Protein backbone atom coordinates (compact mmCIF):
# COMPACT_ATOMS: atom_id res chain seq x y z
CA UNK A 1 0.00 0.00 0.00
CA UNK A 2 1.21 3.53 -0.70
CA UNK A 3 1.95 5.99 2.09
CA UNK A 4 -1.08 8.20 2.47
CA UNK A 5 -1.56 11.28 4.58
CA UNK A 6 -4.18 11.00 7.32
CA UNK A 7 -6.55 13.24 5.35
CA UNK A 8 -6.21 11.15 2.19
CA UNK A 9 -6.79 7.89 4.06
CA UNK A 10 -10.04 9.23 5.56
CA UNK A 11 -11.61 10.12 2.19
CA UNK A 12 -14.18 7.60 1.07
CA UNK A 13 -13.53 5.67 -2.13
CA UNK A 14 -16.00 4.25 -4.68
CA UNK A 15 -15.02 1.58 -7.18
CA UNK A 16 -17.42 1.71 -10.11
CA UNK A 17 -17.29 -1.31 -12.42
CA UNK A 18 -18.70 -0.32 -15.81
CA UNK A 19 -17.92 3.31 -14.99
CA UNK A 20 -17.03 4.58 -18.48
CA UNK A 21 -20.62 5.14 -19.58
CA UNK A 22 -24.30 5.02 -18.69
CA UNK A 23 -25.44 4.44 -15.12
CA UNK A 24 -21.88 3.84 -13.93
CA UNK A 25 -20.63 7.18 -15.24
CA UNK A 26 -23.66 9.04 -13.84
CA UNK A 27 -23.05 7.39 -10.47
CA UNK A 28 -19.40 8.47 -10.57
CA UNK A 29 -20.50 12.08 -10.99
CA UNK A 30 -22.79 11.87 -7.96
CA UNK A 31 -20.05 10.37 -5.80
CA UNK A 32 -17.55 13.02 -6.90
CA UNK A 33 -20.05 15.79 -6.14
CA UNK A 34 -20.22 14.37 -2.61
CA UNK A 35 -16.44 14.42 -2.18
CA UNK A 36 -15.91 10.67 -2.65
CA UNK A 37 -12.87 9.56 -4.67
CA UNK A 38 -13.81 7.39 -7.67
CA UNK A 39 -12.03 4.58 -9.48
CA UNK A 40 -13.65 4.07 -12.87
CA UNK A 41 -13.21 0.49 -14.06
CA UNK A 42 -14.24 -0.62 -17.52
CA UNK A 43 -13.32 -2.95 -20.36
CA UNK A 44 -13.47 0.03 -22.73
CA UNK A 45 -10.08 1.55 -21.93
CA UNK A 46 -10.22 4.53 -24.32
CA UNK A 47 -13.66 5.65 -23.11
CA UNK A 48 -12.68 5.10 -19.48
CA UNK A 49 -9.50 7.13 -19.77
CA UNK A 50 -11.33 9.94 -21.57
CA UNK A 51 -14.15 10.08 -18.97
CA UNK A 52 -11.61 9.99 -16.17
CA UNK A 53 -9.71 12.96 -17.59
CA UNK A 54 -12.97 14.89 -17.92
CA UNK A 55 -13.88 14.14 -14.31
CA UNK A 56 -10.38 15.04 -13.12
CA UNK A 57 -10.72 18.44 -14.81
CA UNK A 58 -13.98 19.02 -12.96
CA UNK A 59 -13.10 17.56 -9.54
CA UNK A 60 -9.30 17.44 -9.29
CA UNK A 61 -6.65 15.02 -10.42
CA UNK A 62 -6.65 12.92 -7.25
CA UNK A 63 -10.45 12.63 -7.16
CA UNK A 64 -10.66 10.12 -10.01
CA UNK A 65 -8.59 7.38 -11.59
CA UNK A 66 -9.17 4.69 -14.20
CA UNK A 67 -8.32 1.00 -14.33
CA UNK A 68 -9.02 -1.35 -17.21
CA UNK A 69 -10.91 -4.50 -16.23
CA UNK A 70 -12.41 -7.55 -17.90
CA UNK A 71 -15.01 -8.87 -15.44
CA UNK A 72 -14.93 -12.28 -17.14
CA UNK A 73 -11.32 -12.72 -15.98
CA UNK A 74 -10.61 -13.30 -12.27
CA UNK A 75 -7.02 -12.03 -12.48
CA UNK A 76 -8.16 -8.80 -14.12
CA UNK A 77 -10.82 -8.26 -11.43
CA UNK A 78 -8.35 -8.95 -8.62
CA UNK A 79 -5.90 -6.47 -10.17
CA UNK A 80 -8.70 -3.87 -10.34
CA UNK A 81 -9.42 -4.23 -6.62
CA UNK A 82 -5.72 -4.17 -5.71
CA UNK A 83 -5.06 -1.08 -7.86
CA UNK A 84 -7.96 0.75 -6.21
CA UNK A 85 -6.85 -0.22 -2.71
CA UNK A 86 -3.24 0.75 -3.40
CA UNK A 87 -4.28 4.11 -4.80
CA UNK A 88 -6.37 5.29 -1.84
CA UNK A 89 -5.87 2.72 0.93
CA UNK A 90 -9.52 1.73 1.13
CA UNK A 91 -12.68 0.82 -0.80
CA UNK A 92 -15.92 2.03 0.79
CA UNK A 93 -18.32 1.49 -2.10
CA UNK A 94 -18.48 -1.05 -4.91
CA UNK A 95 -20.94 -0.34 -7.70
CA UNK A 96 -21.39 -3.23 -10.15
CA UNK A 97 -22.85 -1.57 -13.22
CA UNK A 98 -21.01 -3.44 -15.99
CA UNK A 99 -23.44 -5.48 -18.01
CA UNK A 100 -24.79 -6.66 -21.32
CA UNK A 101 -28.33 -5.98 -22.50
CA UNK A 102 -30.96 -8.48 -23.57
CA UNK A 103 -30.32 -10.47 -26.72
CA UNK A 104 -33.26 -9.85 -29.08
CA UNK A 105 -33.82 -13.55 -29.78
CA UNK A 106 -36.39 -16.08 -28.79
CA UNK A 107 -34.84 -18.66 -26.45
CA UNK A 108 -34.64 -21.45 -29.04
CA UNK A 109 -32.74 -19.12 -31.39
CA UNK A 110 -30.24 -17.93 -28.78
CA UNK A 111 -26.71 -19.14 -29.38
CA UNK A 112 -25.11 -20.99 -26.45
CA UNK A 113 -22.08 -18.69 -26.56
CA UNK A 114 -24.29 -15.57 -26.33
CA UNK A 115 -26.11 -17.04 -23.34
CA UNK A 116 -22.83 -17.88 -21.58
CA UNK A 117 -21.34 -14.47 -22.40
CA UNK A 118 -24.32 -12.65 -20.87
CA UNK A 119 -24.11 -14.76 -17.70
CA UNK A 120 -20.33 -14.31 -17.63
CA UNK A 121 -20.55 -10.52 -17.58
CA UNK A 122 -23.86 -9.86 -15.81
CA UNK A 123 -23.65 -12.53 -13.11
CA UNK A 124 -20.14 -13.96 -12.80
CA UNK A 125 -18.60 -10.50 -13.21
CA UNK A 126 -20.66 -9.23 -10.26
CA UNK A 127 -19.59 -12.21 -8.15
CA UNK A 128 -15.92 -11.79 -9.06
CA UNK A 129 -15.98 -8.07 -8.21
CA UNK A 130 -17.60 -8.69 -4.83
CA UNK A 131 -15.20 -11.54 -4.09
CA UNK A 132 -12.20 -9.29 -4.83
CA UNK A 133 -13.43 -6.30 -2.79
CA UNK A 134 -15.02 -7.96 0.26
CA UNK A 135 -11.66 -8.82 1.93
CA UNK A 136 -10.80 -5.09 1.94
CA UNK A 137 -14.21 -4.24 3.39
CA UNK A 138 -13.87 -6.97 6.03
CA UNK A 139 -10.57 -5.43 7.21
CA UNK A 140 -12.27 -2.01 7.33
CA UNK A 141 -15.32 -3.51 9.09
CA UNK A 142 -17.52 -1.52 6.71
CA UNK A 143 -18.58 -1.15 3.11
CA UNK A 144 -21.49 -0.80 0.77
CA UNK A 145 -22.05 -2.80 -2.41
CA UNK A 146 -24.71 -2.00 -5.01
CA UNK A 147 -25.36 -4.46 -7.82
CA UNK A 148 -27.52 -3.33 -10.69
CA UNK A 149 -30.51 -5.57 -11.15
CA UNK A 150 -33.43 -5.14 -13.50
CA UNK A 151 -37.17 -5.56 -13.74
CA UNK A 152 -36.16 -8.14 -16.35
CA UNK A 153 -34.87 -10.27 -13.48
CA UNK A 154 -38.28 -10.27 -11.79
CA UNK A 155 -40.68 -10.49 -14.74
CA UNK A 156 -40.08 -12.94 -17.60
CA UNK A 157 -39.79 -11.59 -21.13
CA UNK A 158 -40.24 -13.50 -24.40
CA UNK A 159 -36.94 -12.10 -25.67
CA UNK A 160 -33.71 -11.86 -23.73
CA UNK A 161 -34.03 -14.88 -21.47
CA UNK A 162 -30.24 -14.66 -21.00
CA UNK A 163 -30.53 -11.16 -19.60
CA UNK A 164 -33.50 -11.98 -17.38
CA UNK A 165 -31.83 -15.09 -15.99
CA UNK A 166 -28.63 -13.18 -15.24
CA UNK A 167 -30.46 -10.35 -13.46
CA UNK A 168 -32.65 -12.73 -11.46
CA UNK A 169 -29.48 -14.48 -10.32
CA UNK A 170 -27.87 -11.13 -9.39
CA UNK A 171 -30.87 -10.36 -7.17
CA UNK A 172 -30.57 -13.72 -5.40
CA UNK A 173 -26.77 -13.49 -5.16
CA UNK A 174 -27.04 -10.02 -3.62
CA UNK A 175 -29.51 -11.21 -1.00
CA UNK A 176 -27.22 -14.12 -0.12
CA UNK A 177 -24.18 -11.85 0.16
CA UNK A 178 -26.13 -9.38 2.32
CA UNK A 179 -26.92 -12.18 4.76
CA UNK A 180 -23.35 -13.47 4.69
CA UNK A 181 -21.63 -10.11 5.35
CA UNK A 182 -24.21 -7.81 6.98
CA UNK A 183 -22.97 -8.74 10.47
CA UNK A 184 -19.53 -7.50 9.39
CA UNK A 185 -20.76 -4.00 8.51
CA UNK A 186 -21.00 -4.65 4.76
CA UNK A 187 -24.29 -3.78 3.10
CA UNK A 188 -25.24 -5.40 -0.20
CA UNK A 189 -28.17 -4.02 -2.18
CA UNK A 190 -29.64 -4.31 -5.66
Q: State yes or no: is 181 an active-site residue.
A: no
Torsion sign over Cα 58, 95, 88, 33? positive
Of the candidates 59, 159, 163, 181, the residue annotated as catalytic is 163
- Per DSSP, the three-state class of 145 is strand
CB 103 within 8 A of CB 162: yes
Phi, psi of 26, rounded to the nearest 5 degrees: -60, -40
**Taking a C-beta distance cutoff of 8 angstroms, is the pair 100, 108 a contact?**
no
Catalytically active residues, by annotation: 163
Amino acid sequence: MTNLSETESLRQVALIVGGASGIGLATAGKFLQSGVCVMLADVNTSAGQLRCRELQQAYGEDACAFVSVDVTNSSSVEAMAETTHQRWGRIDFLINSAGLGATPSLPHMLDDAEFERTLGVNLSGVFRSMKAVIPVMLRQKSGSIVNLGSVGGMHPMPYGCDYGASKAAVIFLSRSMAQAYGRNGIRVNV
